[in-house]
Chain A
Amino acid sequence: MALARKIIQVKQDATDARLSLLDLPDGATWITEARNAAMSRVKKMSLPHGRDEYWKFTKPDTFVQPEALKAPLFDNDEGPLWADVDRLKVVFVDGIFDAEASDDLSSEGLVIERLAVAALKDIHWAKDLYGVLEIRGQDAVQRPLAALNTAFATDGILVHVTGKVSKPLNLIYLYNSETSDVNLHHCIKIDAGAEVTILETGPGAARLNTVMEVDIADNSAFHHIRVQGRDHERRAVTGIFTRLGHESTFKSFTLTMNGVLTRNECVIELTGDNAIAHVAGACVGDGKDFHQDDTVFITHDSFNCESRQVFKKVLRNGATGVFQGKILVKKDAQKTDGYQISQALLLDDNSQFLAKPELEIYADDVACSHGSTTGAIDENSLFYLQSRGVPKAEATDLLVLAFLAEALQEIEDTMLAEGILERLNGWLARHGH
């Protein structure tokens, strides 16, 4: 008991220390109210601590502490990702929108605004979304770092999607300061029948905290592909909060290469019949300092919805991968089809995969399956390839890509998928044998 009280105190102190250095940004009434409420949530919950059940596999200290740890800028010799994909670039440098580096944001079927500008407007549609889905995501499990983001983010984008948009919107996060401590908050509102693809790329920040709230109306679709920065020392905690209407689709894929610490949370609520949500991730990590965590919470709250979680991690030289994934099927969510797989391929004995798959089902007519495995490269496969003349290193790479295939297949667009594969091949070449 004494210990529990002590931890509560430690958490409050750490939270106070962090908050004392932060000022709530200026803004119109609607956002000031949302920010104040978020700050109250943070105070009430306290920032996470290693003793929290939800953080037992991933140390939150460096996300919590007042200052971001230094992340040296990485000398990036790779060509730009998706250079030949026509996309609308939205660039943030050290957490601030860079108009010069960005494309003209006017586009058919889309209304895009900077959060920093929208926050000053007296009336804004984002009032009904900003912080709203984040709060819903706090229902079952506390996510104080997302609330912290809602309270203190000064920039981000607010996107209202009114039609089917074919050109992807590419959010690019750059940083110049080795101690850049960035909060970005995005709201995406997709009208009925509309469709959009959002890409997130770039090194990120020394410490990046992003929240993306996505409201997906009936019969609409959201596609999301993210490639997280490969600077070795960068840290990122991300939260996607989404709610899906009737017959709508949400598909998200994340590639994580390097980065000393990554925690990707995804909270999905299926609230309309026949909706589909897929969330997938491929992660490759090298070295004992690498730690990557995918934490997913999917709530089925409607009839005949499908959800699919596919997470694959390749870990070497003492790297750590984490997966926490939950499917909650509410009483009336009959005919739920839930699938969850999380797998790690450990390229040596020093690496580790920690997984906590969970199912909580209150409906009686559902099909849910989940599996989690940890394994090494299959020796027989390796020998078979080598016996045909494929050198061991190349054979290992082929088997690594084969292992990741199920996650990569979640990317529908072939051009975007090719870019991801190129990045992976680059990583394999650099982190070779």
Chain B
Amino acid sequence: MLVINDLHVKLEEEDKQILKGVNLTVEPGKVHAIMGPNGSGKSTLSYVLSGKGGYEVTQGSATLEDAELLDMDAEERAAAGLFLAFQYPVEIPGVGNMTFLRTAVNAQRKARGEVEMSAGEFLKVIREKAKSLKIDAEMLKRPVNVGFSGGEKKRNEILQMAMLEPKMCILDETDSGLDVDAMKLVAEGVNALRTEDRGFLVITHYQRLLDHIIPDFVHIMSDGRIVKTGGPELALEIEHNGYGDILAEVA
């Protein structure tokens, strides 16, 4: 599904290398978790994959179902099935949440040559999905993320993911800022989307999210590289011992 090969990325404006050769393959139906110390490059990887400006790929490639991601505009990547749940969802005053999501859903459908969703159908589907994430209708009417609490913003990301039904979902610290109950809701939302043909890349600092979304693989990122890969037990190990031992071992 997603194949990242020897990806090197630096900042466009400065001479600062952030990703220093990332290799990672996510097969359909699998959940990969990425953990790693602050500043190791996890968010950068998610941004570069989804097409944010300000970065320069100096080496390597990334493909989604064999399509070269790095050549596409951000909106093309989305239409191709990539989704990023942001670590810091953006507030957009003046753009209604509903308008935004319907525009997005239909823009993607249009780009893929599919029929657009009618207003009625859209309303029905979003109400249903919002309800299961305990997002009330009032919130949907508000401008995108404006005045949302930290946890509400994260749930709104998952709602968008549920509406857009991407093939490859990247979740960047979706658990941060969530209370215990909200985390369960979010995890249920994610698990509901776990199908044989969908891949997940879950960036997190904490084992507790992985209690709910059980990963197939856990990767440790450090200084712009994936330095260790293992199963769910690797997350537990980090929970108990921190990164010190592992980083010393691979150094």
Question: A residues bordering B, Cβ < 8 Å?
Answer: 379-381, 383-392, 394-395, 398-399, 401-406
Contact = CB atoms under 8 A, between A and B. Distances in A.
> Which secondary structure dominates where chain A touches chain B?
helix
Nearest to A381: B92
Contacts of B73: 386, 391-392
B84 interface: yes
A386 B78 contact: yes
Interface string B58-94: 0000000000000001110111000110100110111
A44 to B, nearest CB: 47
A389 B111 contact: yes
B25 to A, nearest CB: 22
B104 interface: yes
Given A390-B75, A392-B73, A392-B75, A385 B94 contact: no
Nearest to A388: B104
Contacts of B74: 383, 386-387
Contacts of B95: 385, 398-399, 401-402
B108 interface: yes
Given A384-B144, A386-B74, A392-B75, 13 more contacts: A383-B51, A383-B74, A384-B89, A386-B73, A386-B78, A387-B52, A387-B74, A387-B77, A389-B107, A389-B164, A390-B104, A391-B73, A394-B103
17 contacts: A383-B51, A383-B74, A384-B144, A385-B104, A387-B50, A387-B51, A387-B77, A388-B100, A389-B75, A389-B105, A389-B164, A391-B75, A395-B75, A398-B103, A399-B94, A402-B94, A403-B94
A40 to B, nearest CB: 49
B108 A389 contact: yes
A395 B94 CA distance: 13
A381 B89 CA distance: 9
B37 interface: no
Interface in B97-140: 99-101, 103-105, 107-108, 111
A390 B103 CA distance: 7
A391 B107 contact: yes
Given A379-B53, A383-B74, A389 B104 contact: yes
Top 9 A-B pairs ranked by shortest CB distance?
A402-B94, A389-B78, A386-B74, A389-B108, A388-B104, A384-B90, A405-B94, A386-B75, A402-B95
Contacts of A399: 92, 94-95
B107 A390 contact: yes
B160 interface: yes
A383 B78 contact: no
Contacts of A381: 90, 92
Interface in B147-176: 160, 164
Contacts of A391: 73, 75, 107, 111
Nearest to B90: A384
Given A388-B160, A389-B75, A392-B75, A398 B90 contact: no
Contacts of B75: 386-387, 389-392, 395
Nearest to A380: B90
Contacts of B111: 389, 391
A380 B84 CA distance: 14
B107 A383 contact: no
B99 to A, nearest CB: 8
Best-surrounded residue of B53, B84, B92, B160 (most CB of chain A within 10 A) = B92
A403 B94 CA distance: 7
Contacts of B100: 385, 388, 390, 398
B79 A389 contact: yes
B104 A383 contact: no
A193 B107 CA distance: 50
B6 to A, nearest CB: 24
B51 A394 contact: no
B97 to A, nearest CB: 12
Nearest to A406: B94
